[in-house]
Amino acid sequence: MSSAEALVEELARATRCAMTEELGGILRTVREKCPADACISFDFDGRLHLYVDVRTSDQVSNVERARAGTRIGMFHSFTRGKTPHHPFYRRLSAVIDA
């Protein structure tokens, strides 16, 4: 392996670790404000989206209120809706600017 290839491989590894750490930090921040049985997921389509699936509308409201003091400005464009393929869950979605 050439030194250039080794450098590219090292850079790719460092980038993956940084992304994993950042997403892990966001997940911990969100998890602290959610019920224990909440399903939290991310999606990326050019923008990073957060999905929090909970059982009741009251839990959605509680998560919305709790996020107010969490990493101010990181989460925006909140929407409420149904959770695909899980009819007994409610979803709170947001866009994340890390």
Residue 19 structure tokens = 């992304």
Domain 3-96 falls in which CATH fold? Answer: Alpha-Beta Plaits (3.30.70)
Looking at residue 42, its pLDDT comes to: 95
Please report, for the chain, the start and end positions of each structural domain, with discontinuous segments joined by +.
Answer: 3-96
**Angle, vertex CA 24, rays to CA 21 and CA 26, nearest 5:** 115
Give the DSSP letter of residue 54.
Answer: E
With a pLDDT cut of 70, the percent of the chain lying above it is: 81
Q: Give just the sign of the alpha carbon dihedral 91, 92, 95, 96.
A: negative
Least confident stretch, 7-11, 47-51, 68-72, 78-82: 68-72
